[in-house]
Structure 1
Amino acid sequence: MGLVTVLPFTLAYAAANRPLLAFSARVAGDDARTRIVIDFEKKPDFSVHYVTAPERVIVDLPATAFGFPAEDLAARGLFKDIRYGTMDEQSARIVLTAKKPVKLVLAETQPNDNGSFRLVLDAEMTSKDTFANLVRTQSWDMPAPPSPEPLALTEQDNVFTVAVDAGHGGIDAGATGAATKTPEKTITLAFARALAERLGKIDGVKTVLTRDNDTFLSLSERVTLARQGHADLFISLHADTLAQKDIRGATVYTLSDKASDRMAENLAARENLSDELAGYSIQSGPPEVADILLDLTRRETQAFSTALAANVVESFEGQVGLINNPHRYAGFQVLRAPDIPSVLLELGFLSNPEDEKLLLDEAWRQKVIDRLGDAVGRYRERALANGG
């Protein structure tokens, strides 16, 4: 299982052994999904296996000359170390050492326009149990695993699943109450737990919590956990602060590249800094296939997100305080799942004394949760009536 140091590619070595030439490489992604692409002169045969202690993904190749700068395959995203080199005269190996349990959701060769080929590996975070099962059930004699579509949209099932996301957590405390100094992460977690319990009582509905304790999750992790849970809805809960302390009430946000107003734009910019504030560098996620099907999926999802927001506003009106123009929109990273209707709910503002009191009041919290349960139930009934 040892790895031989990378050998320099020379003409004499090429003439004697005729290895494959890997002439370029690139890595893109974050701590939830990471893509590795390596370009080969000819189509490479390859196999993939998983190894524990530490968690690694092993990619075995025929004899290969790696003719690209080492920094082009520098570790990032889900991987803390990437090594590659020759094993013997007939084989080479790439070893991807992960920061956390991972699985490949795509592993395939694809043709380039110039007659060369690229090896595409899409890794996604997974649970320890899933990784252990991959190790336990694999065979070292098997070829590369079957490849799903590059963007595996959420699977259809007979259960209506709601992902409830408690904003912030761990090192990212979020906003702080002006009077009580209560951190936003504590308020959102209490709301998320209670909302999940309430929604779970609706016949045919189950819930998934992105976090159930004081743990930091990156924005990408939150979306990925929702998709892995086959969520049909995603609700992210927050309680921010504003410089204008007189503004109070709930707000429902949906995704848009152009913000509805300056307040929404500033709030989205602040929320999107969550990863950076917690020490995670901002990195672009794995590229997705830009095709007509995906574009239609995004548009349909956005329409459903708007419908969900309308249901929340309708349920709150006359029962729970709302700000003016309570449905707003901006470029929140946590709402970017292309196939899950998603909203971000600002329950109120910790910068406002009255809102802060309500956010910490258990009776008020239950009232809000009941209204949200009504909104989700009504949304689900309308979706089912329309064949959704």
Structure 2
Amino acid sequence: MSDPMHNSHRRLLLQAIAASWMLSVSKIGFATSVQIVAIRVWPASTYTRITLESNLPLKYRQFTLSKPDRIVVDIEDVHLNEVLREMTRQVQATDPHLKQVRIGQFNKKTVRIVLELKQLSHPQLFTLKPIAKFHHRLVVDLYPTVGDTATKDDPLLALLEDYNKGHLERTLPTKAPSAGKAGRDRPIIIVLDPGHGGEDPGASGKNKTCEKDVVLQIARRLRALIRRESNMRVHMTRDEDVFIPLKVRVAKARKLRADLFVSIHADAVTNREAKGSSVFALSAKGATSTAAYLLAQTQNEADQIGGISKSGDRYLDHTIIDLLQTATINDSLKFGKEVLSRISKINKLHKNRVEQAGFAVLKAPDIPSILVETAFISNLEEEKKLRSRHFQQQIAKAVFAGIKAYFS
């Protein structure tokens, strides 16, 4: 005859084991289900970017339809949720490329997204691995067909198309600066690069100030000052809230045969007490400090660049580019010192010398280039400064004075 107490303990033990097993299965099942956690639609004059962010990599296939022009994207092993439905509400009437989005559960395991276009586009789809605060991403870029007029007015459209075809370097001039002495025989050509943009907001302050917004405002103020000079011409890598790959920013400067390249940013660290302005130039052999190295890594996450493209004889190219870039870095350091000395008059310096790091956006081998960290957006006092028109104008004037001093 069985012992009732023994049977009771046995039942409890079995129930506990079963509950534990069900819990582990549930956790595994939850962890392996694909979830869309964020959707972003960023329209701009150059192209529209759609980003789907997920906890796991997305499997997808695409095809196009005509009359009307549509791009269809099927995403596998995903179920329609409120986040995905939000995409239909993010499309703006002013979007020059995207007319509307339709989305639905095509079958039990597939969500179908239909992008109806306003104009013929070259869609580029690719995935990005998690970095910083981003999860896995599926990116859909809608580029307009490049026409002669658009290419003539702004080389960015053609460069973006070349970038996505994988032959950006082959379309660039072999020598960036134009012939003649800059400022005397021809205008000085300056390219301003407001950092980040679009779905890449850069750093943010405690009061929700976005780096991408304040650096664009500073760049516009600096552009206005340069435009007043009869012997200078100025261009910007972006003049709106749009993401431009780092490689394309450098390529645009080289396409325009720039004499100077100025990238504008706002610093951020976990220590909110850190403050001050900094100026960086490229380091061919790595960073001059741990902080500079970490900062370069952060900036480079937006779009990785594997160094300078080389062709022809490997050893000859290496020697020539090394000599050319060494001379360019020396000029960048001279330029950086002029800017830093003038910024020191309006704001505390984080470091009293021009630092060097492997910033991807400074890697044009033949254009003196600097990166200006205007202030620490992570510091409450300097975040307030960065939002003010007065400080933005002061920074613009300081960089402008550095430009004039460098050429004089």
Q: Taking structure 1 as the reference length, what is the TM-score of the superposition?
A: 0.58
Q: Who is 2:215 aligned against? A: 188
Q: CA deviation at 1:155?
A: 2.7
2:303 aligned with 1:275: yes
- Which of the numbers 289, 293, 304 marks the counterpart of 2:331? 304
Total equivalences in the alignment:
248
Looking at structure 2, the residues matched to 283 and 293 of structure 1 have their Cα atoms a distance apart, in angstroms, of: 18
Q: Who is 1:211 aligned against? A: 238
Indicate how the Cα distance of structure 1 residues 358 and 340 shifts in structure 2: closer, same or farther if over 3 A, else same: same
2:184 aligned with 1:161: no
Indicate how the Cα distance of structure 1 residues 317 and 286 shifts in structure 2: closer, same or farther if over 3 A, else same: closer
Alignment of 1:88-107 (within 5 A): none
Q: CA deviation at 1:286?
A: 4.0
Looking at structure 1, the residues matched to 399 and 266 of structure 2 have their Cα atoms a distance apart, in angstroms, of: 16
Indicate how the Cα distance of structure 1 residues 79 and 190 shifts in structure 2: closer, same or farther if over 3 A, else same: same
Alignment of 1:105-120 (within 5 A): none
Indicate how the Cα distance of structure 1 residues 336 and 149 shifts in structure 2: closer, same or farther if over 3 A, else same: closer
Q: Which runs of 5+ in 1 are unaligned?
A: 1-53, 55-77, 82-97, 104-125, 134-146, 277-281, 382-388
- Contact 1:101–1:127, Cα closer than 8 Å, also in 2: no
Alignment of 1:1-388 (within 5 A): 128-130=150-152, 151-157=174-180, 158-178=186-206, 180-256=207-283, 257-275=285-303, 286-289=309-312, 290-381=317-408
Q: CA deviation at 1:295?
A: 2.8
Secondary structure at the counterpart of residue 352 of structure 2: strand
Over the aligned positions, Cα root-mean-square deviation in angstroms equals 3.1
Q: CA deviation at 1:205?
A: 1.1
Secondary structure at the counterpart of residue 275 of structure 1: coil
Q: CA deviation at 1:329?
A: 1.0
Q: Taking structure 2 as the reference length, what is the TM-score of the superposition?
A: 0.55
Q: CA deviation at 1:365?
A: 1.3
Indicate how the Cα distance of structure 1 residues 306 and 100 shifts in structure 2: closer, same or farther if over 3 A, else same: farther
Q: CA deviation at 1:325?
A: 3.1
Going by fraction, where is helix more abundant, 1 or 2?
2
Q: Which runs of 5+ in 2 are unaligned?
A: 1-68, 70-121, 126-141, 156-169, 181-185
Point out the structure with max Rg over C-alpha: 2
Q: CA deviation at 1:288?
A: 4.0
Larger RCO of the pair (alpha carbons < 8 Å, separation 6+): 1
- Contact 1:165–1:236, Cα closer than 8 Å, also in 2: yes
- Contact 2:278–2:350, Cα closer than 8 Å, also in 1: yes
- Cα-to-partner distance string for 1:227-271 (whole Å, 9 max, x where unaligned): 112210000000121012111111000101321111111000010
